[in-house]
Amino acid sequence: GQNIDQPTEMTATEGAIVQINCTYQTSGFNGLFWYQQHAGEAPTFLSYNVLDGLEEKGRFSSFLSRSKGYSYLLLKELQMKDSASYLCAVLDSNYQLIWGAGTKLIIKP
């Protein structure tokens, strides 16, 4: 079967750095997305990785290792507004999007 694993919940301090991991086992791979979802709201697109390496976009970076079936989202200089769920999703060989259940990130002052 196809599977995406992320930690259920993480806690970090305002101003700090946090890394949210995602491991996947899918039938084929056509890219990996990270989405942010605030409570009661829709997911919003953060990043897309299809090649190995680190993609940096402001305070957020996303890393991919296809050989390890692994990605992480790195959030720097955490702000209270970053409290949200972060969802990892993988495009399989049929271009079907397989979603993880998300990691709830709690930011403390």
For residues 69-98, which are near another protein according to CB under 8 A? 87, 91, 94-97
List the interface residues with another protein, window 4-63 (CB under 8 A). Answer: 4, 8, 30-31, 33, 40-45, 48, 50
Cα atoms in the Cβ-side hemisphere of radius 13 Å centred on 65? 8
Scored b (16 or more CB within 10 A) or e, 50-71 reads: eeeeeeeeeebbbbbeeeebeb
The amino acid that residue 104 corresponds to is K
104 interacts with another protein by CB under 8 A: yes
Binding site for another protein (CB under 8 A): 4, 8, 30-31, 33, 40-45, 48, 50, 87, 91, 94-97, 99-102, 104
